[in-house]
């Protein structure tokens, strides 16, 4: 097994490994690399839905997504699908999954089944590298601050996003989750500090004026959106990507209109954040 950094800020490519035949030592290596790099990318896998589930369950319990369409016969697996005639894609903006939950999901494990001939890449951003690059004054300003996260504006039945999306999300009446988390998060596995706010689900900073909250979040987002904190993954069929929601953002590019793109995703449960 070969693990090579994908960029200085986030991600590693893992080659010469079959995810259906991992021994205990190899899995330990992957676990360490995952928390160190924030995302792992595996080429040339050949996974059945059962294989996908077995691999996910080695990490933790599966967190069944409330809103995505499941794969027939496999409620643990959510379809990430855009048909040729659809305009909007899933995940088409910077975000991190499940930050609106009291106990956010550890990560997502996404397996590529159909990839368009060009386009459809996913961008990743590293929150540890972004935090490290802040100046001392900003780090001091952020220490102890918390942010509120929610999902009604995305998955709720009356949200503009749901209307534009053509009702492709289900269970919209249950989109009522809100949670408060530290802006500077000590990673629960490594203790490394990283930023934990995102444009998709963060609503406001707790305990400060609304205008100041918007201004500070805008500053942080502009900082994280600098390309030195990113890696761009070019998908191939049979590729599996997994990322740590506590230390990364991701963004699925929507530049393949007229083509089908289909991946299966399993979300893995996390632990309480402090």
Residues marked active site are found at 95, 97, 250, 265
Nearest alpha carbon to residue 217 among 120, 148, 123, 118: 148
Q: How far is CA 232 from the centre of its chain?
A: 14
DSSP 57-107: HTTS-B---SSSPEETTEEEEEEEEE-TT----TT-SSB-TTTTSSS--SE
CA atoms within 13 A of residue 202's CA, in its CB half-sphere: 24
Q: Which residues touch 116 (CB under 8 Å, ≥6 apart)? A: 256, 259, 260, 261
Whether 224 and 127 have beta carbons less than 8 Å apart is answered as yes
């Amino acid at each position: 097994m070969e693990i090579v950094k994908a960029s200085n800020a986030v991600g590693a490519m893992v080659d010469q490994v079959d995810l259906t035949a991992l021994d205990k030592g190899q899995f330990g290596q992957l676990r360490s690399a995952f928390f160190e790099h924030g995302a792992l990318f595996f080429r040339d896998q050949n996974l059945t839905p059962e294989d996908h589930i077995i691999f996910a369950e080695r990490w933790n319990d599966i967190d069944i997504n409330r809103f995505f369409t499941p794969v027939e016969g496999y409620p643990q697996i959510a379809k990430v699908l855009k048909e040729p005639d659809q305009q909007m894609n899933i995940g088409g903006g910077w975000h991190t999954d499940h930050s609106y939950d009291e106990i956010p999901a550890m990560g997502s494990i996404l397996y590529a089944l159909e990839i368009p001939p060009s386009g459809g890449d996913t961008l990743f951003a590293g929150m540890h590298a972004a935090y490290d690059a802040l100046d001392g004054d900003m780090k001091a300003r952020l220490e102890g601050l918390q942010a509120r996260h929610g999902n009604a504006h995305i998955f709720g039945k009356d949200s503009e996003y749901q209307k534009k999306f053509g009702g492709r999300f289900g269970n919209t009446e249950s989109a009522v989750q809100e949670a408060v988390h530290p802006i500077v998060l000590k990673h629960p596995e490594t203790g490394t500090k990283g930023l934990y706010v995102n444009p998709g689900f963060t609503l406001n900073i707790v305990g400060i004026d609304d205008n100041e909250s918007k201004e500070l979040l805008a500053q942080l987002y502009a900082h994280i959106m600098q390309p030195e904190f990113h890696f761009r993954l070019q998908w191939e069929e049979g590729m599996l990507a997994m990322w740590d929601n506590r230390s990364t953002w991701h963004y699925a590019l929507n530049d393949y209109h007229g083509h089908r793109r289909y991946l299966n995703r399993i979300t893995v449960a996390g632990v309480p954040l402090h």
